[in-house]
Structure 1
Amino acid sequence: MVSTAAADNPWFSWSYVTENADVLWARTTEHALLTVEAVAIAALVAIPLGLLASRVRWLAGPLLGTAAILYTVPSLALFAILAPIMGIGRQPVLLGLVLYALLVILRNTVTGLDGVDPAAVDAARGVGHGPLQVLARVRLPNALPSIMAGLRLATVTTVALVTVGVVVGYGGLGQLMFQGFRNNFYRAEIMTATIACVLLALVLDLVLWAAGRALTPWLRGRSA
């Protein structure tokens, strides 16, 4: 038998969704834009660093080690450290997300570049390709699947971490989750925000998967 309290506070309510559609859309958009921006900035930093680490081998250890140390800092602690320095709001959350995404993208970039067949590189050099041509035509295309896998993993992870940004006043869908907990544990609000986070992660992952497929047509031909 369902209690009156449980009936009045369901885990999901379609009426809540329809009545708060504007707020849900605004928070989801905020969440998505912050995720995309953080991963894009991290990629712009991590991929060139990965190229450098792959070329200057002694740099790989320090770069990956530094990124790993940043990754091990608990998200709540990191945002708490950044807030007094940068203030409350979007900027500390964005920086924290970028720092967390660096390791995954950097590691996958280095792994992908290191996994390129040396025979293919030697063959490119043998036909007269210079270092930049070898990089653009051989090394990066062959490393691209690993790089895209890193971007996908970083994106899904970032979607989850954005919600923690609520501790410094900017958490996207995390704002609704936190509000639901404060509002007498309003289940529908918490569950709706959670489902929206999962769907957002799936959509962004699917977009990156499709982009990876489009950028590597030779892999489709090989699998066929």
Structure 2
Amino acid sequence: MNPVQQAVVWLNDPLNWTNPGGILDRLGEHLSMSALAVLLGCLVAWPVGLWLGHTGRGGGLVLLVSNVTLAVPTLALLTILPLTFLGFGRPAVVVALAVFAVPPLLANAYTGVRQADPEARDAARGMGLSGAQVLRRVELPLAVPYLAAGFRTAAVQVVATAALASFVNGGGLGQIIRAGFGLDIAAGGGQIVAGGVLVAGLALLVEGVLALVERVVTPRPLRRARRAANRRAADATAGG
């Protein structure tokens, strides 16, 4: 059998799903690591992005942090962080993935507040609301669609990248791929393909679910405005 046929056979074996260290165990590890990493990224990026967007300062800082963070390879972080007090295992993986999640979370939080309707902001200030109240009651609700978009991007990236956790004893679905590479290619090729399919399928599932959530939290007028902006961008690209 070729590797694809081997992968189908491997995925259809119930023992590969239910045995200790099987797909269900690795899936749970993968999801828990990814969820913790995105949550940590939100706790760091959202307050900073919202506050900088509210003050109108720090646009260059947001761009710099995003570019620097994206320039650092996740595999390099996964190699370096285990040598610190975090040690090998899940804590180092969560921190590395959280760093990878920060750029889209930070950029979308900042953009969401800056895109808030200036008239709504001025009206709130005219009613005597303080800066913090304007942020909490006006700008934050209007920024929710942007926060959802950043969350979606970060979550998909983290879920896809979490497969590298197996290199530092972090577990997850990547462990299936790594175990396949530990076998002879003739015997492990199907397992490698199966692990890749599982990671890709999970990333696509997360993308689909969060795309639906993003649509639900985005008001209809804003959806139409975004579609129009996307069409204009596409037309400009085609014309260029």
Q: TM-score, normalised by structure 2?
A: 0.80
Does residue 1:70 correspond to 2:69, yes or no? yes
Taking the aligned partners of 1:97 and 1:7, their CA distance within structure 2 comes to 30
Taking the aligned partners of 1:8 and 1:152, their CA distance within structure 2 comes to 30
More deviation in 59-68 or 157-166? 59-68
Does residue 1:138 correspond to 2:162, yes or no? no
More deviation in 128-137 or 148-157? 128-137
Contact map agreement 1:162 1:172 (CA 8 A) in 2 = yes
Which residue does the alignment assign to 1:6? Answer: 2
What is the number of residues matched between the two proteins? 218
**Which of 211, 214, 227 is residue 212 of structure 1 equivalent to?**
214
Contact map agreement 1:93 1:165 (CA 8 A) in 2 = yes
Q: Deviations over 1:5-57 (max 9, x none)?
A: 63897242156542211210000111011111110110011000102222344
Which residue does the alignment assign to 1:194? Answer: 196
Matched to 1:126, the amino acid is G
Contact map agreement 1:32 1:200 (CA 8 A) in 2 = no
Cα distance 1:68–1:138, how it changes in 2: closer, same or farther (>3 A)?
same
Which stretches in structure 1 are left out of the alignment for 5+ residues?
Answer: none
Which stretches in structure 2 are left out of the alignment for 5+ residues?
Answer: 225-240
Which residue does the alignment assign to 2:48? Answer: 49
Q: Deviations over 1:148-181 (max 9, x none)?
A: 1111010110011111121111140001001111
Contact map agreement 2:145 2:217 (CA 8 A) in 1 = no
Secondary structure at the aligned position of 2:88 is classed as coil
Does residue 1:107 correspond to 2:107, yes or no? yes
Contact map agreement 2:5 2:190 (CA 8 A) in 1 = yes
Taking the aligned partners of 1:167 and 1:7, their CA distance within structure 2 comes to 23
Contact map agreement 1:177 1:194 (CA 8 A) in 2 = yes
Cα distance 1:8–1:53, how it changes in 2: closer, same or farther (>3 A)?
closer
Q: Displacement, 1:103?
A: 1.1
Which residue does the alignment assign to 1:129? Answer: 129
